[in-house]
Amino acid sequence: MSAAIRIQQVSKCFGSTQALDAIDLEVRPGEFFGLLGPNGAGKTTLISALAGLVRADFGKLSVMGHDVQADYREARRHLGVVPQELVFDPFFTVRESLKIQSGYFGIRDNDSWIDEILENLGLTSKANANMRMLSGGMKRRVLVAQALVHRPPVIVLDEPTAGVDVELRQTLWHFIRRLNEAGHTIVLTTHYLEEAENLCTRIAMLKAGRVVALDTTANLLRRFSVHTLRLRTRQAIPPELTHGAAENGGWWSLPFDRFDEVEPLLAKIRAAGCVIDDLEIGKPDLEEVFVRVMQGQAN
Amino acid sequence: MGHGFSTLLYKEVLRFWKVGSQTVAAPVLTALLYLLIFSHVLEGHVKVHGVIYTAFLIPGLVMMSVLQNAFANSSSSLIQSKVTGNIVFVLLPPISYLEFFAAYVLASVVRGFVVGAGVLLATFWFAPLTFAEPWWILIFALMGGAILGSLGVIAGIWADKFDQLAAFQNFLIMPLTFLSGVFYSINSLPPFWQEVSHWNPVFYMIDGFRHGFFGVSDASPWLSLSVVGSCLAVLTLFTLNLLKRGYKLRA
């Protein structure tokens, strides 16, 4: 089966700034894919190139096998993009906006699907409200709805939860997960790494327009992050036990790979005469992976 | 042209219709005020082509309103969409540059026709009007509206800020429309200014449009048709080329 998204050697310059530098990336159909990176890494430029808002200087991009330039109509029909900026058309109501957006994609009678989207995003009561009257969170929901009116098989969400409340996040992720389970390919960019860790099966990390890490989430966690035993002790831990550990505010973080290493480690600490006041076990997290990759410790 | 085109056209018409007091009623009132003031001052003193001044003025005001509002529609819609960022809603769907052009220009023509009809309705009580050759009225209103709608697309895409658009409007569109024979026959001008007027394409739009009412005009309607038709063809090609290249819309 062909890739849902195929990006081949894509480069883009804005003046002297190299926004994308020979990017190669493939997203498989049905994947929940994360695109991570610091501000200015090129995530939004890459999404814009995919959506036809930016024209790549070199390379090829396709959506469900359709080239985004040569076969732009089919490529765009297969792609739904939730833009990062909170934009809206102040002249129209929520329902009018969604009907107009459907029409742009050549869909005439879309009321039942529009009703379903409104229901799933908690927008039913706001259907006839003017866009100007909505709160920021509600406007964000409408942006998501607008990206879905044409039932695109590939959905790209560019920081959809930036500055929104917990309720919307939960509603949104519940709905997006359902779409993913129904076979839609999802690409997500976010600065909330916990979200990416929970949702994405595969992750690409971008830095200065280049892909610096690309793997399954599980592999990235395994490669770049470890479990830690965090301890607060009444007495100083002997130096021979703190190899590779870090101390911060009276807490020691001791790295370990396997859980069967924990008990012998604790036994040694107790044997050294240390009394443990507090203890917790830290799981590997994407934030640590992200920091390491961005610091150039990727291998 | 597909459903994307008709939806964009519908949206553009709905947009100006929803704020009709600004986009239709206000320009009709402005034209009415021009008529009341100029006819009060000049009525009884001036006849043009054997037509009393107020009757001569009405078609000029109607066409000026068509042109100015056609320009205002596409240009203001595009600059607002660009500044607020909602232009992405039109750029993300599979709408071709030809459909984009046709929808914005046609919506401008519709706004021009609606305002023009409003001005005609509000003013034709003031003087006896004839409709000697009505097809000229339609042809020049359509072509003039399309030219200014097209200029509006260019200005809306080119301008990054509202004041740049205002400069385009104040320093190009307003002088061209005001100095085109709306309020006078260019035959009443000194020879130099007559010559200058012949280089103003808006003069031919107004003159040809007025010919449809009275059957007489400063220039032959066929000459006006060829000038206006050529302008429309050149502007259409120029605008289509901008859109095809994605100038200022697709980086």
Does residue A128 sit in helix, strand or coil?
coil
Which chain A residues are Cβ-neighbours of B18 within 8 angstroms? Answer: 91
Partner-chain contact A76 B94, CB within 8 Å: yes
Tell me what pLDDT residue B79 has. 96
Residue A143, both tokens: 């942006």
Residue B250 belongs to a domain:
no
Tell me what pLDDT residue B45 has. 67
Domain count, chain B: 1
- B233 burial level (CB within 10 Å; 0-12, 13-18, 19+): exposed
Partner residues linked to A12 by β-bridges: A20
Residue B224, both tokens: 């006006």
What distance in Å separates residue A74's CA from the closest CA in chain B?
7
Determine the structural domain holding residue B209 and report its residue range: 3-245
Residue of A137, A140, A39 lying closest to A85 (CA atoms): A140
CA dist list (Å): A220 to A37, A204, A210: 14, 10, 17
**The complex's ipTM?**
0.89
The shortest CB-CB distance from A103 to any of B3, B15, B96 is to B3
Query: pLDDT tens digit string along B13-66?
Result: 999 999 999 999 999 999 889 888 887 777 666 677 777 888 888 999 999 999
The shortest CB-CB distance from A105 to any of B14, B88, B93 is to B93
Domain boundaries, chain A: 5-222, 227-283
Tell me what pLDDT residue B10 has. 96
The topology (CATH level 3) of A5-222 is: Rossmann fold (3.40.50)
| Residue predicted with more confidence, A167 or A97 | A97
Query: pLDDT tens digit string along A136-168?
Result: 888 999 999 999 999 999 999 998 887 778 888
Q: Give the model's confidence band at A104: pLDDT under 50 very low, under 70 low, under 90 confident, else very high.
A: very high
What distance in Å separates residue B207's CA from the closest CA in chain A?
37
Residue A57 has pLDDT above 70, yes or no: yes
Residue B123 belongs to a domain:
yes
Q: Which contiguous run of DSSP H or E holds residue A8?
A: strand A5-14
The shortest CB-CB distance from B250 to any of A54, A106, A107 is to A54
Query: pLDDT tens digit string along B197-227?
Result: 889 999 999 999 999 999 988 889 999 999 9
